[in-house]
């Protein structure tokens, strides 16, 4: 019989507490040190960056709640993780309210210009080369991050935006210490950054890469935060900051001598004025007696993770061998991605059958495709969630399109029991590569998440561009509650389309395999996205498990790093555990307000 969930969670809590004995106290901002796990009272924050986590802890110590801390942490990530997040991008915010025991979400995804149509990325009858679309004004969507912050604060926050931006403003003005990850990410963008004078001046001063151990300052961003703090987000959506963004998108400030053709966009002040961060209901899935909440479309994260969990529900993964566990996880991911590609898009434009995709009846009709002695062929055709047919493989497959991988995720909790899981992004590492002159932040390239042309000829593609449409995302910030609607764990990850598989593997490793949160975050990952081969991190690539899975018919390719998760877990006696990566992205930063056993 399967181990009872309540007992499993008790074991997990005890294991996590033992792992975390001796966790360091949260260092102060400016002298923050990375540790991957911390346990204590008063609230918790986990992110990829120590300075950002410290900003959130500072807010919690000063009486702020989890929403306040999440906004402060996100703003600080815009300073220290400028190639992954910032006010020039967007994201998805999931919030658990401890008083009502309800989960709420905000869709802060970027939108296409109101002039866009399905041929946004088509020239002379052919799709624009992907790299050209990325580094252009054409790929820039209307930013949603400031509106997301304000919507969350208006709905559930306790402090004004201006006060919450102060730690990030201070960090941008005084600087942070350059690490190897920041230098490496700059180096991978060096050629295109050099073609935009404002980007080069900020990130390649004097034409050189930043030196590890040096201090990186961004006074322009400090001034931008100060302006947002004083004037509110109207500075972007109805003010001078917005005008600067529109001018930059429509006339990218490229160095004429570079020879780079940076296509202009068609963003207008009307697009900014019309933008709304959308409050909407979360997705909800039952798994092993727990309630799993995530973000609904326009992101595919909640529906795809939820469908895969439903497919796995009938398998006792707690007693499965490592090979059977990985095989089932890979096949469930393959099937869920096949359905995602056909059915999920922006529900303001598309008839998305989210309820049906998340039904156990539909999952069972798809789960019967999985055999323990054979591997499904990719790309696999989608099913029809409105008319489930058992083990059906008829139809036309839609291959998974590419999404940029360097998003960032944070999780936060407070002393009252409120929890936030928030993933924000500018899409590609370095976004569009275009810095808004005098403003200190990069613009996103989120519109390249659209399908440039239909993924399957002759089959409706729900992810084609449209006026004001949100491109499909894979972001999956997730909050898990027990049967009494109390938080168990919250987590999420960056990684483009690998976000879905990272969240799924982390959840099943935590719930089914009984791993402590910090260990399941560190465990080597696999990612199958309805493709001919499955990606493996080195820990699995170099493992005997690979050969055993290959004997079943699996094919693999190596990926050096998949995702960079963070999470928080509710422990007994009001304690919180915060967990982050040990190694990926240079290691993450977990902090609590008051450390203690």
| Given 111, 224, 407, 435, the catalytic residue | 407
Q: Count the neighbouring beta carbons within 10 Å of the beta carbon of residue 554.
A: 19
Q: Note whether 508 and 312 are within 8 A (CB).
A: yes
Q: Closest by alpha carbon to 61, among 593, 419, 595, 596?
A: 593
3 state DSSP class of 108: strand
Concerning whether 407 is annotated as a catalytic residue, the answer is yes
CA distance 136 to 195: 12
Q: CA 241, 463, 456 angle in degrees (round to 5)? A: 150
DSSP annotation of 443: P
Omega cis (within 30) before 294: no
Copy the structure tokens of residue 524: 């080597």
DSSP annotation of 473: B
Give Cβ neighbours of residue 227 (< 8 Å, ≥ 6 apart).
235, 241
Angstrom distances, CA of residue 91 to CA of 26, 446, 456, 473: 27, 10, 28, 9
CA distance 282 to 112: 23
Query: In sequence order, which ranges of 448-514 are alpha helices (DSSP H)?
Result: 498-511
CA distance 432 to 141: 10
CA distance 585 to 593: 24
- Burial (CB count within 10 angstroms: exposed 0-12, middle 13-18, buried 19+), residue 551: exposed
Q: CA 480, 481, 482 angle in degrees (round to 5)? A: 130
Q: Closest by alpha carbon to 2, among 315, 295, 237, 285?
A: 315
Q: Kindly tell me the sign of the dihedral angle through the C-alpha atoms of 145, 568, 504, 483.
A: negative
Give catalytic residue positions: 407
């Amino acid at each position: 019989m399967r181990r009872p969930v309540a007992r499993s969670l008790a074991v997990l809590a005890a294991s996590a507490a033992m792992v975390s004995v001796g966790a360091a106290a949260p260092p102060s901002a400016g002298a923050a040190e990375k540790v991957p796990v911390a346990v204590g009272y008063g609230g918790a924050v986990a992110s990829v960056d120590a300075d950002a986590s410290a900003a959130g802890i500072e807010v919690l110590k000063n009486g702020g709640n989890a929403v306040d801390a999440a906004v402060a942490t996100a703003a600080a990530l815009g300073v220290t993780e400028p190639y992954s997040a910032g006010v020039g991008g967007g994201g998805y915010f999931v919030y658990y309210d401890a008083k009502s025991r309800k989960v709420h979400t905000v869709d802060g995804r970027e939108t296409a210009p109101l002039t866009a149509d399905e041929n946004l990325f088509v020239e002379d009858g052919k799709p624009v080369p992907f790299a050209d679309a990325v580094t252009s004004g054409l790929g820039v969507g209307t930013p949603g991050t400031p509106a997301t912050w304000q919507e969350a604060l208006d709905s559930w926050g306790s402090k004004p935006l201006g006060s919450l931006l102060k730690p990030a403003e201070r960090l941008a003005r005084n600087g942070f210490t350059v690490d190897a990850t920041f230098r490496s990410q700059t180096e991978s963008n060096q050629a295109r950054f050099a073609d935009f004078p404002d980007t080069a001046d900020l990130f390649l001063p004097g034409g050189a890469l930043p030196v590890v151990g040096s201090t990186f300052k961004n006074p322009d961003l400090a001034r931008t935060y100060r302006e947002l703090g004083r004037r509110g987000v109207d500075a972007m959506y109805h003010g001078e900051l917005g005008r600067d963004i529109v001018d930059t998108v429509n006339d990218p400030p490229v160095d004429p001598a570079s020879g780079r053709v940076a296509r202009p966009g068609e963003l207008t002040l009307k697009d900014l004025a019309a933008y709304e961060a959308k409050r909407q209901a979360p997705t909800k899935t039952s798994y092993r007696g727990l309630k799993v909440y995530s973000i609904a479309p326009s992101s595919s994260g909640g529906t795809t993770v939820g469908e895969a969990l439903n497919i796995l529900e009938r398998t006792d993964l707690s007693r499965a061998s490592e090979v059977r566990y990985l095989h089932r996880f890979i096949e469930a991911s393959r099937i869920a991605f096949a359905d995602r590609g056909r059915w999920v898009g922006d529900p303001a434009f598309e008839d998305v059958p989210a309820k049906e995709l998340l039904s156990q009846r539909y999952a069972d009709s798809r789960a019967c495709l999985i055999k323990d002695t054979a591997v499904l062929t990719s790309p696999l055709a989608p099913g029809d969630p409105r008319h489930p047919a058992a083990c059906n493989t008829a139809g036309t497959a839609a291959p998974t399109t590419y999404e940029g991988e360097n998003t960032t995720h944070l999780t936060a909790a407070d002393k009252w029991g409120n929890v936030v899981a928030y993933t924000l992004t500018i899409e590609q590492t370095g976004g569009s590569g275009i810095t808004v002159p005098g403003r200190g932040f990069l613009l996103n390239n989120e519109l390249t998440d659209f399908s440039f042309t239909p993924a399957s000829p002759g089959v409706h593609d729900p992810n084609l561009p449209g006026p004001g449409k949100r491109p499909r995302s894979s972001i999956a910030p997730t909050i898990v509650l027990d049967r009494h609607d109390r938080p168990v764990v919250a987590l999420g990850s960056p990684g483009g389309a690998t976000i879905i598989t990272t969240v799924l593997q982390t959840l099943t490793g935590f719930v089914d395999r009984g791993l402590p949160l910090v260990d399941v975050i560190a465990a080597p990952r696999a990612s199958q996205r309805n493709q001919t081969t499955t990606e493996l991190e080195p820990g699995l690539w170099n493992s005997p498990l690979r050969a055993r899975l290959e004997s079943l018919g699996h094919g693999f390719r190596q990926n050096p790093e998949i995702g960079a998760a963070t999470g928080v877990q509710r422990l007994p006696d009001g304690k919180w555990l915060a967990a982050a990566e040990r190694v990926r992205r240079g290691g993450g930063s977990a902090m609590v307000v008051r450390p203690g056993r």
